[in-house]
Copies of this chain bind each other. A is one copy, B any other.
Amino acid sequence: MDFFQVISLEEAQHRLQQKFSQNNIAIEEVSLLEAQHRFLAEDLAAAENVPDFNRSTVDGYAVKAADTFGAGEALPSLLMAAGAVRMGQRAEMILQKGQAVAVPTGGMLPEGADSVVMVEYSEQFDADTIAVYKPVSPGENVIACGDDLRRGEPVLVRGTWLTAKHIAMLAACGISKVHVYRPVRFAIISTGDEIIEIDQPQQIGQIRDINSYGLAAMIAQWGGEVAYRAIVKDDYDALKAAMEEGLRQADVLLTSGGSSVGERDYTYQLMQELCQDDVFVKGIAIKPGKPTIAGKSGGKPVIGLPGHPSAAMTVFRVLMGTVLKQWGMQLQETIVPARLSANLPSAPGKTTFQMVQLRQEADGFIAVPVFGKSGMIHLLGHSEGYIVLEAHQEGLEQNQQVLVHLL
């Protein structure tokens, strides 16, 4: 491991931030539903008041609240029926003292009205008279113009990863098209003589290309694209050709499996060549994931991920999350507090990513560490997330509060 110059995770992230301060991802305008799971490329503010009229929240009668004060079952307020507002139409009349105007739920209050009496607490006495059996206060059963959102108020910020909730919010603002970043394109190259396609018959000693699938699925989950994918033997020329093709087609080049120290491992050598010696991460003090390398080629990130699938997925998330954030794209992450089920030793000087299972108890979640020696299917299948032990931490104690990053 003599060529590794291990640095801290913070330092690796800091270098990524410095190297990739520029965002070369194009911005495109898409319709609202196409925007789902894309990163918003603009700050959005309300173009109008929402609602843009005083709106009733119930079926009933628009009134001046003062006209209902003191009303009761025994002695109703009697108001003059002054017409009806129809759904979806402007209230043309101006409500005078002593009048009541019928309004449906969602309907517009006429000018002069400040509240709505629910239909349940009123009665049409005769053609001209409405009886009100319960007083209302000013503003009751009304959403006033701009109550939900005032013109110019910020709605969503650049970098938001758009989900169903955001789509509904934007629809309510009348925003039907938004500017988003085009999907970030990734190239994934798996290296190693032992790596085969997952649908190939497996010979003794061979390993299926799990990493490509795990990484591609994570990329798809964020709204990214896999533009190029290859499995390459430990062969200098073949690996060079694949890496060059990957860099041509994608914004980010990922290699996996080749960054440990095999005798016939060309990944590191080729990264030096393609990045013109700008390989600025050569090992990170993290567990698992130490043999991680990162460089810059033609302005694009080139990341050599560790071979172990769960390590590859964690490292990819942490490093790529840093780059995407720097590019103005904020990965959504769900973090939940939990209490640790058992003492957990730290790896001194290393940031440790510990996979955990979550168990729900009466007073919260319990995080149960899952150990992965026996392999990745067991590890992934039993884990709901991971916790991060900082390099300076002395280990964690049973019942200590931890934060679990959900997978």
Contacts and interface: CB of A to CB of B under 8 A. Distances in A.
Given A33-B213, A163-B221, A220-B33, A365 B336 contact: yes
A169 B381 contact: yes
A334 B337 contact: no
A25 interface: no
A403 to B, nearest CB: 8
Interface in A350-395: 360, 362-365, 373-378, 380-381
A388 to B, nearest CB: 15
Interface string A223-254: 00000000000100000000000000000000
Contacts of A171: 198, 208-210, 212-214
Contact of A377 (B148, B177, B212): B148
Interface stretch (A45-53, A179-187, A269-277, A318-326): A45-53
Interface string A30-62: 001100100000000000101111000101000
Contacts of A195: 88
Contact of A147 (B48, B206, B363, B375): B375
B373 A213 contact: no
Contact of A32 (B155, B213, B263): B213
Contacts of A172: 208, 210, 309, 375-377
A315 interface: no
A123 interface: no
Interface string A183-194: 000000000111
A106 B214 contact: no
A106 B307 contact: yes
A149 interface: yes
A377 B32 contact: no
A107 B195 CA distance: 11
A122 B312 CA distance: 28
B106 A203 contact: no
Interface of A: 32-33, 36, 48, 50-53, 57, 59, 85-91, 104-108, 143, 147-149, 155, 163-165, 167-177, 192-195, 197-199, 202-210, 212-214, 216-218, 220-221, 234, 260-263, 307, 309-310, 313, 334-337, 360, 362-365, 373-378, 380-381, 401, 406-407
B214 A168 contact: yes
B364 A337 contact: yes
Copies of this chain, count:
2
Given A106-B194, A334-B406, A173 B52 contact: no
Given A50-B377, A168-B380, A205-B88, A217 B173 contact: no
Given A169-B380, A213-B167, A375-B147, A337 B360 contact: yes
A121 to B, nearest CB: 14
Given A147-B375, A173-B377, A375-B149, A164 B217 contact: yes
A260 B105 contact: yes
B374 A167 contact: no
A254 B177 CA distance: 24
Given A171-B210, A174-B198, A163 B217 contact: yes
The 5 tightest CB contacts between A and B, nearest first, are A148-B375, A88-B194, A168-B214, A164-B217, A176-B199
A52 to B, nearest CB: 7
Contact of A205 (B87, B209, B213, B263): B87
A330 to B, nearest CB: 15
Nearest to A264: B87
Contacts of A170: 213
Given A36-B217, A143-B373, A167-B216, 20 more contacts: A33-B216, A59-B261, A59-B262, A88-B206, A104-B263, A105-B307, A107-B194, A148-B375, A148-B376, A149-B378, A163-B221, A165-B214, A168-B214, A168-B376, A170-B213, A171-B214, A174-B208, A176-B198, A362-B401, A364-B401
